[in-house]
Amino acid sequence: MYQDPELLKFLGGLTVTLDPVARFKAAMGVEPRRFQRELLTSTSPRVICMASRQLGKSTAIACIAWDAFLRGLTVVVIAPHDKQAKEFLLRVKDFRDADPFAPRSIQFLKTEVSAANHKGRILAMPATDSARGFTADVLVLDEAALLQDDEIAAVTPMRNKVTGRLIVTSTPMWKEGDFYRWWTQPNNFQKILGHYRDVDDPQLQAAIEEERVITPDQRFAREYECIFSGGGDPLISHATLNRAMDNKEHALCLNLS
């Protein structure tokens, strides 16, 4: 058995790079959820992921971004707001901390991660004009449903035309916009769905069900049920439709006597 600590770190770094699931587990201390696993192991040049809120989309993306960074690639993450971009880099730090082969000379700036001797970079920024001018090996549109089509049109050309990947993640919003079209129309995107009911976490599911009580139906449908919905309240809510299809629900009995 090789006991040299530096060699073990080198081998550990190779292991987590070759096995993104192991990297995720090492950083987060838990197995990735199914949709996260699909995201992590995907090699498709175009991936779109729609998932319920707070399920870990950005965490999985941070794992992918860190891995690409260590491979010497440039990752550009576009978020709707500045705060989300900064928050994203904090998630990247978790993976840096858990990486046995993380470079020591790494620099975490407000919007950028870089390291001496590494070609890789991670840039996280809001979708503004300042986002132009980069060439990304991996372009991530985080919370894409909240990005304007114009903003998306402005940043997508920065993806490397030959080898670049485009990864789009979001919770659904309205029945309009690029994210809606990409998810609903036939195209060459690999589509990954992360629904809270598919998660093997009863505690989380119970917590989300509690949210249902205080959340308007349409909003709950968008944010947790992964359903695009327009404005206004429908005549029959999504929850009512769900109950109508549930065999455990008792039939409505009218007492006419």
Partner 1 sequence: MSVKGRHKVDVELTKTKRDQLVVDLVTGATTKYAASKEFGMSDNSIKRWFATVPEDEKLILVAKAKQRTEAAQRRDAAGILMSDGDDIDNDLRWLVKRIRSAIEACTDDDKLLELAQMREMRQQLMDLAKVRGMFSNKIDIAINLADSPQFILLRQIILTVLDQHPDAKADFLLEMQKMQVLEHVSGS
Stretch that binds partner 1, among 8-16, 75-83, 135-143, 170-178 (CB under 8 A): 8-16
Tell me how far apart the alpha carbons of residues 62 and 76 are, in angstroms, rounded to a whole number: 11
Shortest CB 177 distance to partner 1, Å: 35
Strands (E), the chain: 46-51, 74-79, 106-108, 112-115, 121-126, 138-142, 165-170, 190-194
Using the minimum distance from each CB to partner 1, give the nearer residue, 108 or 217.
108
Tell me the per-residue interface mask from 67 to 106 with partner 1, x by CB under 8 A, - otherwise: ----xx---------------------------xxxxxx-
Reading the block at residue 106, the tokens are 């790494």
Stretch that binds partner 1, among 16-24, 163-171, 191-199, 217-225 (CB under 8 A): 16-24
Question: Binding of partner 1 at residue 10 (CB under 8 A)?
Answer: yes
Q: How far is CA 92 from the centre of its chain?
A: 13
DSSP label of 80: S
Cα→Cα distances 74→18, 21, 23, 136, 233, Å: 18, 21, 19, 5, 43
Question: Binding of partner 1 at residue 8 (CB under 8 A)?
Answer: yes
Using the minimum distance from each CB to partner 1, give the nearer residue, 65 or 173.
65
Question: Binding of partner 1 at residue 15 (CB under 8 A)?
Answer: yes
Question: Binding of partner 1 at residue 37 (CB under 8 A)?
Answer: no
State the number of CA atoms in the 13 A half-sphere of 206 facing the CB. 3
Using the minimum distance from each CB to partner 1, give the nearer residue, 72 or 216.
72
Shortest CB 61 distance to partner 1, Å: 20
User: Cβ of 211: how many Cβ atoms within 10 Å?
Assistant: 15
- Applying CB under 8 A, which of residues 12, 108, 134, 191 lies at the interface with partner 1? 12
- 116 to 155, contacts with partner 1 by CB under 8 A? 116-118
Question: Binding of partner 1 at residue 18 (CB under 8 A)?
Answer: yes
Beta bridge partners of 46: 166
Closest CA to 13 of 101, 111, 119, 142: 101
Q: Which helix (H) or strand (E) segment is 16 a member of?
A: helix 5-18
Using the minimum distance from each CB to partner 1, give the nearer residue, 105 or 184.
105
Q: Which residues here bind partner 1, judged by CB under 8 A?
A: 1-2, 5-6, 8-19, 22, 26, 71-72, 100-105, 115-118
